[in-house]
Amino acid sequence: MPAKGGAEAVSELALIERIGARARRRPGTELGIGDDAALLSVGGTAVVTQDLLAEGVHFRRATTSPRDLGHKALAVNLSDIAAMGAEPVAAFVGLCLPPGGLSDDAADELYSGMEALAERYGVTVAGGDVTGGPALVLAVAAVGRAGDGAAPVRRSGGRPGDLLCVTGALGASAAGLLLLERPELAGAVPTPVAERLRAAHLRPEPRVGAGLALGRAGARAMLDLSDGLGLDGGRLARASGARAVIELDALPLAEGVAEIAAAAGRDARLLAVSGGEDYELLAALPPAAVEPAHRAVPGRLTPVGRLEEGVPGLVAVERGGAAVDLAAGGWEHDV
């Protein structure tokens, strides 16, 4: 059956062989693709997660290249491993091919994007499955191990009085998505800035080093910002039995977010708190641990709020001490 564009689609068996030839085995994986199951040597506690990207829900092929899609499918899972203060070891990829399949070139590009990211973090793409279906779907499961000298960091360990801190800067992915959907907004920022914002949405970077450092520095609760600080902050607060307060003016904005938001008629900080897919880490830290964590974490670490006594999971957003009505606290897709 031909792939889109008239190229001959790769068969399931040939695709598995191509994937196996491309995926390199790295430390922690004794046996990868080619048998009924993989063999891993993680040592200590295994950390396991699974996420999926479905065409028409999480991405559009018109704006997402196969290489970007492969990168992102793995990155969102490595981000979950990072949010537990753990290091990734292996990934397993379930690939559902759309009608017409994928061309050899598209399949190679998809797994090239995945393998390039895997190499940077010492991860083995160790197995998976291929089938056909109504749309292109990647379901990735990742396995990691707890960092040396630290237990996995859960969402439930936060306490009233803890400070809520984020790594990096926020809003880049939301601004990048605006640029992909409304290309005319690109004139609001220099071309290199627009390119970085698009890349933040298409090729997010998992904060594995920051997650390990935060775990060792005493983070009591942590998660990654996949659905926006409003929703994800509420999830951490609910699991920790506390109320979260977010100070909008404290949010660190990525370069170009303010300009793109203004061009789109949006409030930049509300875009950053609700946009989602930044894949930065949100950590609850005792006040005394913030400065040591700041020194240990690669890149930026910014206090943006606090946990308080109150209705568990309630998120209060403030600007200058005054409450802000956050109409949309994050992004949720239909199921």
> Residue 271's domain is classified under what CATH number?
3.90.650.10
Amino acid in position 107: A
Question: What pLDDT sits at residue 328?
Answer: 42
Between residues 285 and 10, the one the model is more confident about: 285
Domain annotation covers residue 40 = yes
pLDDT at 327 over 50: yes
Q: Do 186 and 108 fall within a single domain?
A: no
Residue 281 near residue 223 (C-beta atoms within 8 A): yes
CA-CA-CA-CA dihedral for 18, 19, 21, 25, to nearest 10: 180
Domain annotation covers residue 117 = yes
Residue 4 near residue 100 (C-beta atoms within 8 A): yes
Question: What pLDDT sits at residue 22?
Answer: 72
Three-class secondary structure of residue 48 per DSSP: strand
Question: What pLDDT sits at residue 151?
Answer: 84
Confidence tier at 79 by pLDDT (50, 70, 90): very high
Q: Do 138 and 271 fall within a single domain?
A: no
What does the pLDDT look like over 237-246, one tens digit per residue? 999 999 999 9
Nearest by Cα to 201 from 229, 238, 165, 174: 174
Mean pLDDT score across all residues of the chain: 89
Determine which of 13-27, 101-115, 289-303 has the lowest per-residue pLDDT on average: 13-27
Confidence tier at 333 by pLDDT (50, 70, 90): very low
pLDDT at 76 over 70: yes
Q: Do 268 and 309 fall within a single domain?
A: yes
Question: What pLDDT sits at residue 25?
Answer: 81
Amino acid in position 192: P
Q: Do 179 and 139 fall within a single domain?
A: no
Q: Do 22 and 125 fall within a single domain?
A: yes
Domain annotation covers residue 55 = yes
Q: Do 230 and 288 fall within a single domain?
A: yes
Q: Do 315 and 240 fall within a single domain?
A: yes
146, 173, 203 — which closes off a domain?
146
Between residues 40 and 73, the one the model is more confident about: 73
Question: What pLDDT sits at residue 36?
Answer: 54
Question: What pLDDT sits at residue 323?
Answer: 87
119, 146, 173 — which closes off a domain?
146
Domain annotation covers residue 43 = yes
pLDDT at 77 over 90: yes
Nearest by Cα to 74 from 3, 150, 144, 4: 144
Number of domains in the chain: 2
pTM: 0.87
Domain annotation covers residue 231 = yes
Question: Alpha-carbon torsion 1, 93, 197, 195, what sign?
Answer: negative
pLDDT at 317 over 50: yes
Domain annotation covers residue 331 = no
Section 140-145 average pLDDT: 92
Q: What is the CATH number of the domain that holds 39?
A: 3.30.1330.10
Question: What pLDDT sits at residue 28?
Answer: 80
Domain annotation covers residue 332 = no
Question: What pLDDT sits at residue 331?
Answer: 44
Q: Do 315 and 203 fall within a single domain?
A: yes
Q: Do 138 and 218 fall within a single domain?
A: no
Q: Do 221 and 126 fall within a single domain?
A: no
Section 11-23 average pLDDT: 68
Confidence tier at 326 by pLDDT (50, 70, 90): low
146, 168, 187 — which closes off a domain?
146
Q: Do 92 and 211 fall within a single domain?
A: no
Q: Are strands 86-97 and 124-132 parallel, antiparallel or unpaired?
A: parallel
Domain annotation covers residue 329 = no
Residue 49 burial by CB count (10 A; 0-12/13-18/19+): exposed, middle or buried?
A: buried
Question: What pLDDT sits at residue 39?
Answer: 66
What does the pLDDT look like over 30-70, one tens digit per residue? 766 655 555 677 777 888 888 999 999 999 999 999 999 99
Percent of the chain scored above 70 by pLDDT? 88
Q: Do 89 and 159 fall within a single domain?
A: no
Give the best-scoring range by mean pLDDT among 13-17, 186-190, 227-231, 311-315. 186-190
Structure tokens at 111: 């797994």
What is the spatial distance between Cα 20 and Cα 191, in angstroms, rounded to a whole number? 38
What does the pLDDT look like over 158-206, one tens digit per residue? 999 999 999 999 999 999 999 999 999 999 999 999 999 999 999 999 9
Section 97-113 average pLDDT: 92
Question: What pLDDT sits at residue 335?
Answer: 40
3-38 b/e (C-beta count within 10 Å ≥ 16 → b):
beeeeebbeeeebbeebeeebeebebbeebbeeeeb
State the residue range of the domain holding 211.
155-324
Question: What pLDDT sits at residue 222?
Answer: 96
